């Protein structure tokens, strides 16, 4: 059992954003599918990225990492026609690899840990049998697939998870004939799909956007390349919000023109009242007089916990709406975010699809349940920028899922995180 104690702090100085986990996932898969040798840098070995590397190796690819440079040799991808793919706790890894394994005709068994076995995969188990893929499951993981993916028109909702669409986008260009993805509901988290299309283009594969989804030409092939990853806007947001609450912080290594939808954090904290100065590769945030706003979270679900913390220090009542998908993440993030802030002396009301947060001047501190959810543990750290007391948060090492260096980077800007590993 791991516990972290957070003490009050005033953010100052600068920090460099880690490599984007979302970008690295996509680059690794494209590199493996290129059937040659590619390099990806920089790469940080979070648990989710380790899961994706493990899955391409299970399918026959080879990898080597040195000095944050990952080399991927996809020459023998799909040479293993029977494979077990351990996705750890990574929803991205699972949903990306189901179509990828299917396009290779692999008899694949998917397993996972934490909350992943309960997270939804029904879109694929309902859809893929219509396109040559047999699916065996009792409703979640383990999942077994067999057969080979066939081209066609894939009708899919856009409001459950963009990861299902990304998985299909990776696989369908490798089929002999053209395919279409047709949305049956409005798309959410479209930034993640745009990121997928951008990364695929760097590896030589093109996707055509249509009025109702995407057209995917068949008979394409991925080409090896040397890929440079983006800094992670989702992780940078924790430091930016810290600066908005109290003090001043500069985050380097964030690309203003990134395809990541979470770059919207700068616009939102500016609306809250923080002072934001942005260059092509950095953002400086200084605290200001904060006031409540309304946030539509449909395109930026990963930002909700830390935005709720920001709202916790803003005058008035902030509404976060269209965030119902957060109930099926590593935790029920609407419930766990509300509990986090309320347990520390804040004022949050949980809605069916979002949160209402009434600001306070200071949080009093107390105990926080990390819920084995990296974003809850890191959001608790941000609370300490407006704290009068201390926070004791469980499941500290859940940060390894996405950002193993978080506590080091947090302490480098004045944070006071003390991690205790209690057996």
Catalytic residue status for 302: yes
Domain end call among 179, 197, 228: 228
* Residue 293 confidence (pLDDT) above 80: yes
Which three-class secondary structure state does DSSP give residue 361? coil
Segment holding 41, helix H or strand E: strand 37-41
Would you say 31 and 6 are in contact if contact means Cβ atoms under 8 Å apart? no
Same domain for 369 and 260? Answer: yes
Tokens of 117: 């076995």
Would you say 371 and 331 are in contact if contact means Cβ atoms under 8 Å apart? yes
What are 77-95's pLDDT values in tens digits? Answer: 999 999 999 999 999 999 9
Catalytic residue among 86, 230, 232, 302: 302
State the angle between helix axes of 190-202 and 21-33 in degrees (0 to 180), rounded to the nearest 10.
Answer: 40
> What pLDDT is attached to residue 326?
87
State whether the Cα torsion 131-134-139-141 is positive or negative: negative
* Residue 12 confidence (pLDDT) above 70: yes
pTM of the model: 0.92
Same domain for 70 and 213? Answer: yes
What are 21-80's pLDDT values in tens digits? Answer: 999 999 999 999 999 999 999 999 999 999 999 999 999 999 999 999 999 999 999 999
Segment holding 21, helix H or strand E: helix 21-33
Same domain for 219 and 248? Answer: no
Name the band, by pLDDT with cuts 50, 70 and 90, for residue 189.
confident
Mean pLDDT of 393-402: 96
Q: Which residues pair with 275 in a beta bridge?
A: 286
Q: Which of 234-238, 325-329, 332-336 has the lowest mean pLDDT?
A: 325-329
Same domain for 377 and 391? Answer: yes
Number of neighbours of residue 316 by Cβ within 10 angstroms: 12
Name the band, by pLDDT with cuts 50, 70 and 90, for residue 423.
low
**Residue-by-residue DSSP string for 186-255:** --SSHHHHHHHHHHHHHTT---EE-SSEEEE-SS------EEEPPB-HHHHHHHHHHHHHSSEEEEES--
Of 332, 312, 308, nearest to 320 by C-alpha is 308
Name the band, by pLDDT with cuts 50, 70 and 90, for residue 128.
very high
> What pLDDT is attached to residue 43?
97
Same domain for 305 and 353? Answer: yes
* Residue 422 confidence (pLDDT) above 80: no
> What pLDDT is attached to residue 8?
97
The domain in which residue 382 lies consists of 2-18+231-421
CATH code for position 348: 3.65.10.10
Same domain for 197 and 294? Answer: no
Of 309, 365, 367, nearest to 337 by C-alpha is 309
Same domain for 296 and 402? Answer: yes
Name the band, by pLDDT with cuts 50, 70 and 90, for residue 185.
very high
* Residue 272 confidence (pLDDT) above 90: yes
- What is the domain count for the chain? 2
Across all residues in the chain, what is the average pLDDT?
Answer: 96
Same domain for 192 and 285? Answer: no
> What pLDDT is attached to residue 290?
97
Number of neighbours of residue 58 by Cβ within 10 angstroms: 19
Mean pLDDT of 355-362: 96
**Residue-by-residue DSSP string for 272-296:** HT-EEEE-SSEEEEE----B--EEE
Give the whole-number percent of the chain exceeding pLDDT 70.
Answer: 100
Q: State the chain's maximal CA–CA distance in angstroms.
A: 62
Tokens of 371: 């819920």
Q: What is the dihedral of CA 291, 296, 298, 304, to 10 degrees?
A: 20
Which three-class secondary structure state does DSSP give residue 184? coil
Same domain for 211 and 245? Answer: no
Would you say 399 and 406 are in contact if contact means Cβ atoms under 8 Å apart? yes
> What pLDDT is attached to residue 331?
87
**Residue-by-residue DSSP string for 100-132:** HHHHTT-EEEEE--TTGGGS--HHHHHHGGGGT
Domain end call among 165, 197, 228: 228
SS percent in the chain: helix, strand, coil, step 5: 35, 25, 35
Same domain for 211 and 178? Answer: yes
Same domain for 236 and 224? Answer: no
Same domain for 184 and 105? Answer: yes
Mean pLDDT of 181-202: 94
Domain end call among 208, 228, 248: 228
Give the whole-number percent of the chain exceeding pLDDT 90.
Answer: 93
């Amino acid at each position: 059992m791991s516990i972290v104690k957070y003490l009050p702090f005033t953010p100052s100085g600068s920090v460099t954003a880690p490599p984007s986990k979302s970008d690295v996932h996509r680059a690794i898969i494209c590199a493996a599918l290129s059937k040659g040798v590619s390099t990806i840098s920089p790469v940080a070995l979070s648990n989710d990225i380790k899961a994706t590397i493990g899955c391409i190796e299970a399918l026959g690819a080879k990898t080597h990492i040195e000095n944050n440079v990952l080399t991927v040799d996809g020459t023998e991808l799909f040479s293993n026609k029977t494979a077990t793919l351990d996705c750890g706790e990574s929803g991205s890894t699972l949903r990306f690899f189901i179509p990828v394994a299917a396009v290779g005709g692999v008899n694949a068994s998917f397993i996972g840990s934490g909350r992943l076995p309960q997270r939804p995969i029904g879109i694929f188990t309902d859809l893929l049998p219509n396109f040559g893929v047999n699916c065996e499951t009792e409703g979640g993981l383990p999942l077994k697939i067999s057969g080979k993916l066939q081209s066609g028109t894939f009708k899919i909702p856009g409001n459950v998870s963009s990861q299902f669409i990304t998985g299909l986008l990776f696989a369908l260009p490798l089929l002999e004939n053209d395919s279409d993805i047709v949305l049956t509901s409005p798309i959410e988290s479209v930034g993640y799909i745009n990121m997928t299309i951008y990364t695929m283009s760097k590896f030589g594969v093109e996707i055509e956007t249509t009025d109702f989804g995407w057209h995917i030409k068949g008979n394409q092939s991925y080409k090896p390349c040397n890929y440079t990853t983006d800094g992670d806007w989702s992780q940078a947001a924790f430091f930016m919000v810290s600066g908005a609450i109290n003090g001043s912080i500069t985050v380097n290594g964030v690309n203003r023109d990134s395809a990541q939808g979470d770059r919207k954090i700068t616009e939102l904290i500016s609306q809250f009242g923080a002072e934001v100065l942005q260059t092509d590769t950095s953002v400086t945030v200084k605290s200001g007089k904060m006031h409540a706003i309304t946030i539509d979270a449909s395109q930026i679900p990963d930002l909700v916990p830390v935005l709720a913390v920001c709202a916790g220090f803003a005058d008035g009542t902030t509404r976060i709406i269209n965030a119902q998908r957060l109930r099926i993440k590593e935790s029920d993030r609407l419930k766990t975010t509300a509990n986090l802030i309320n347990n520390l002396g804040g004022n949050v009301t949980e809605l069916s699809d979002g949160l209402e947060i009434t600001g306070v001047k200071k949080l009093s501190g107390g105990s926080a349940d990390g819920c084995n959810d990296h974003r809850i543990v890191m959001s608790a750290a941000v609370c300490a920028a407006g704290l009068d007391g201390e926070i004791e948060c469980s499941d500290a090492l859940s940060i390894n899922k996405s950002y193993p260096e978080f506590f080091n980077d947090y302490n480098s800007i004045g944070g006071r995180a003390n991690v205790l590993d209690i057996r």
